[in-house]
Structure 1
Amino acid sequence: MNKKKHLYYRFKGFYPIVIDIETSGLDSNINAILEIALITFKIDKNGWLKKDQIIHFHIKPFLNSKINYESLIHNKININSSLRGAISEYNAFNKIIKLITKKMKKNLCNRSIIVAHNVVFDHNFIMSSIERLGITINPFHPFTTFDTSTISSFIIGQNILFKACKKIGLYFNMKYSHSALYDSLLTASLFCKLINKFKFKKKK
């Protein structure tokens, strides 16, 4: 089988990508994404789903966004620190969409599917950002998602991220939780393990 078509076949033309975000609050219309991490996937020569590329940005709050300081305590983000190396929401999303579009074309996929733990939260923020920025070519499916919380609950009986990781044999360090980068890496590893339990081959 053509390797480029393998990921396409496994997810019926959809390109899964793990996304984790840290925000300035819970309302996707008025609160800002402050950190975002994305993990892409590939299928190895033996048909196993593997993590591929990491994309990670710290983001400046958009103009007139609301900052909930309880959220900043929770995610330990100092929005005024120059050490964050934060870029604008516009620049971050332009880079993200260019990379995802390139990955989708390489794998012959026609739409990207957001994978996240409790995915509704992440999906709402991503869609709100894209709409606010006036981005006309949106690679993400408008409503279909893969929720690792739901999948984990069904397959291994755990829906909390660190408990699901522990149950499936992944080490989760609570010290680094609520970092978009760390949580996305663990979510991607969890997703791979869950999907690889049901590896299948294309019928000839």
Structure 2
Amino acid sequence: MNASETADGDRPAIAERFRGFLPVVVDVETGGFNAATDALLEIAAVTLRMDDVGKLHLADSVSYHVEPFDGANIEPASLEVNGIDPHHPLRPALPEHEALTRVFREVRRAVRESGCKRAVLVGHNAHFDLGFLNAAVARTGIKRNPFHPFSVFDTATLAGVAFGQTVLKRAAQAADLGWDSDAAHSARYDTEQTAALFCTIVNRFRPIYEGGAPGEGA
């Protein structure tokens, strides 16, 4: 069975392509590097879809500003990079529990509609994002986390293989996706760029997955 067939051969099946997992691209912006102590400040997620010839595309995007949890550490150096003012009076931030609940609701819907069993996080240096996601889930006591607890697709690794680039900006440029430096380091922009990069790489490898020679059907 190839990537563009279901069990009855009628439609593409993203569930077949990834063994029952739905790739969902996630990016977080944070107040530091320690998931246990540092604030989660933004989260964004992009779901993916497969077209009638088995190519992967971006589907829906959600993103939220997040209130720092009580006692959260926030490193000034991190705020200099992401440009976030977590205490700005006009910042439309949600508590962690509400932000995660909204993201997970959309992810569960996408998993259900795709015929998959669970989501798997896609990210650039993905274990960083998964670590902050899992820490926030533990803090908030959310029970229905749709993501696999430790498996990921890491676009830094994939881009290193496909393009010889591991930095997101350089990988996106190598993939002819362009790059807006003014928009970078917002969770939504980085997530959509990472999603486009992941789709580009998966689609380039599609002929190999389907049993053809490299370069066929690209």
C-alpha displacement of 1:11? 0.7
Cα 1:4–1:133, aligned 2, differ >3 Å: closer, same or farther? Answer: farther
Q: Does 1:41 align with 2:48?
A: yes
C-alpha displacement of 1:45? 1.7
Q: Does 1:15 align with 2:22?
A: yes
Report if the CA contact (8 A) 1:4-1:107 is conserved: no
Q: Among residues 32, 38, 44, which one is paired with 1:25 in the alignment?
A: 32
2-structure distance, mates of 1:131, 1:149: 26
Q: What residue in structure 1 maps to residue 149 of structure 2?
A: 142
2-structure distance, mates of 1:85, 1:139: 25
Q: How many residues align?
A: 203
C-alpha displacement of 1:84? 2.1
Percent identical: 34
Report if the CA contact (8 A) 2:12-2:51 is conserved: no
Aligned Cα root-mean-square deviation (Å): 1.7
Q: What residue in structure 1 maps to residue 214 of structure 2?
A: none
Q: Among residues 127, 133, 153, which one is paired with 1:126 in the alignment?
A: 133
**TM-score normalised over the length of structure 1:** 0.94
Q: What residue in structure 1 maps to residue 109 of structure 2?
A: 102
2-structure distance, mates of 1:161, 1:187: 7
Q: Does 1:190 align with 2:197?
A: yes
C-alpha displacement of 1:184? 0.7
1-structure distance, mates of 2:89, 2:57: 34
Q: Among residues 180, 188, 193, which one is paired with 2:187 in the alignment?
A: 180
C-alpha displacement of 1:118? 0.7
**Matched residue SS, 1:66:** coil
Q: Does 1:88 align with 2:95?
A: yes
**Matched residue SS, 2:67:** coil
C-alpha displacement of 1:4? 7.3
Q: Does 1:160 align with 2:167?
A: yes
2-structure distance, mates of 1:91, 1:122: 18
Cα 1:120–1:82, aligned 2, differ >3 Å: closer, same or farther? Answer: same
Report if the CA contact (8 A) 2:118-2:147 is conserved: yes
2-structure distance, mates of 1:47, 1:152: 21
Structure 2, unpaired ranges of 5+: 212-218
Q: Which has the higher helix share?
A: 1
Q: Does 1:70 align with 2:84?
A: no
Deviation string, structure 1 residues 137-172 (Cα, Å, up to 9, x no partner): 221111110000000101211111111111111101
Deviation string, structure 1 residues 108-161 (Cα, Å, up to 9, x no partner): 211211101011110100011111111122211111100000001012111111
Report if the CA contact (8 A) 1:4-1:108 is conserved: no
Deviation string, structure 1 residues 21-53 (Cα, Å, up to 9, x no partner): 110111101111101111100001221100000
**Matched residue SS, 2:28:** strand
Q: Does 1:114 align with 2:126?
A: no
2-structure distance, mates of 1:82, 1:53: 29
2-structure distance, mates of 1:107, 1:5: 10
